[in-house]
Amino acid sequence: MIKIIKQTVVFTLLTVAGFIAMPAQAELDVELKGSSECFRGPFANYDSWLKMLTSRGSDDANPEQLMEKMKAFYKKEDFERYKESLECKNFIYKVNDAMVHGYYVAPKGQSDLPVIIHNRGGNGSYGAWVFTRAYNQLFGLAKEENVAIFASNYRGTAPKLPGKDEFGGADVNDVVALPQLFKHFPNVNPEKVGVYGASRGGMQSLLAVKRGLEVDAIVLYAGQYDLFEGQKHRPKMERVHKARIPNYDENRDEELRKRSAVFWMDEIDNDIPILLIHGDKDERVSVESSIALDKVLEKEGFTHKLSIYEGLKHRSFPKQKEIRSEMMSWFRANWE
């Protein structure tokens, strides 16, 4: 069940006094270094993919039973349909001195496709985009909603590539840089762009827009928008912050504040509509995070909406269809 907490639509007259002065951002040095098909190697066919998945099971798991479970969850006809109808690319791109991996997924044979920049959660390699995660979260979205998706893994995911995940530091540039790659994918419409961020991806999305990423609308799922409160709710997150954020020990409060959207939403254009989605049983990021940001959006005059899903924990999978429907309705309303 979805409980709509608040929906506010604000129409603002653009006067000289109403323009927001945005800080100038240094131009990024961005270059597509290469791309390859997703459906290759162990992912070239259904049987080899499932064989790879089952080989990673626990030592005490029955291989035959595990294979049957995999076949029940991942239907062969779905795999074949995606392989036939989707263009899926692994790509490597340069952002200043860092090298970054990402995924591009879109329906084949289409043109003028709206774009979703899909920002993941996690840190480093934890939560990274790999084939199976892209299959679960991106393939159906691209095919059924007829959109092109760009999903960055952020720098620092692949240890052999230069660049460090700073958890909302220089890695945000890896999101800001993505529109410079659109020219290499001519079936996308660069004039219709939405950004979706889940968990840590919510922070990435808002920081990217603050740094100059131009989007028509924003949808955020289960994000932490006040890292001070986040550490109180889940103390072990300080280990992540300490390990990832440069100068954390010397400048803890300053660095956490830089990554906490509740303190600087006045620096983002309030003409960008924002949808917040959160589960009220989220054990990792308290729903109070989205409630607090929603109050800031109200204060700053954003078009905004907060949807709280009753009984939902941190993972969106149990309500994937409902969340996707709400997300796409928000984007399409702002792509018209």
Looking at residue 328, its pLDDT comes to 98
Does 12 score more than 60 pLDDT? no
**Model confidence pLDDT, tens digit, residues 19-47:** 233 344 568 999 999 999 999 999 999 99
Torsion of CA 133, 138, 140, 141, to 10 degrees: 150
Closest by alpha carbon to 177, among 120, 236, 94?
94
The two structure tokens encoding residue 145:
């909603």
Phi/psi of residue 64, each to 5°? -70, -45
Sign of CA dihedral 228, 233, 235, 240: negative
Q: Indicate the pTM of the whole model.
A: 0.91
Region of residue 124 (left: phi > 0; alpha: psi -120 to 50; beta: else): left
Does 15 score more than 80 pLDDT? no
Task: Tell me the mean pLDDT in the region 154-163.
Answer: 92
Phi/psi of residue 284, each to 5°? -100, -45
Looking at residue 156, its pLDDT comes to 95
Task: List the single range of 61-65, 211-215, 272-276, 315-319 with lowest mean pLDDT.
Answer: 61-65
**Model confidence pLDDT, tens digit, residues 221-263:** 999 999 999 999 999 999 999 999 999 999 999 999 999 999 9
**Model confidence pLDDT, tens digit, residues 161-218:** 999 999 999 999 999 999 999 999 999 999 999 999 999 999 999 999 999 999 999 9
**Could you tell me if 311 and 279 are in contact, meaning their C-beta atoms sit under 8 angstroms apart?**
yes
Closest by alpha carbon to 194, among 113, 125, 266, 78?
113
Does 10 score more than 80 pLDDT? no
**Model confidence pLDDT, tens digit, residues 252-262:** 999 999 999 99
Distances (CA, A) of 186 to 12, 78, 108, 110: 35, 26, 12, 10
Does 52 score more than 60 pLDDT? yes
Share of the chain above pLDDT 70, in %: 91
Looking at residue 26, its pLDDT comes to 66
Mean pLDDT of the chain: 92
Looking at residue 58, its pLDDT comes to 58
The two structure tokens encoding residue 287:
């729903």
pLDDT band of 60, cuts 50, 70, 90 = low
Residue-range domains of the chain with CATH? 2-9+29-41+89-335 (3.40.50.1820)
Does 121 score more than 60 pLDDT? yes
Looking at residue 158, its pLDDT comes to 86
Does 4 score more than 70 pLDDT? no
Closest by alpha carbon to 86, among 28, 144, 31, 136?
144
The two structure tokens encoding residue 17:
């006094």
Does 144 score more than 80 pLDDT? yes
Does 134 score more than 60 pLDDT? yes
Give the residue with greater pLDDT, 83 vs 15.
83
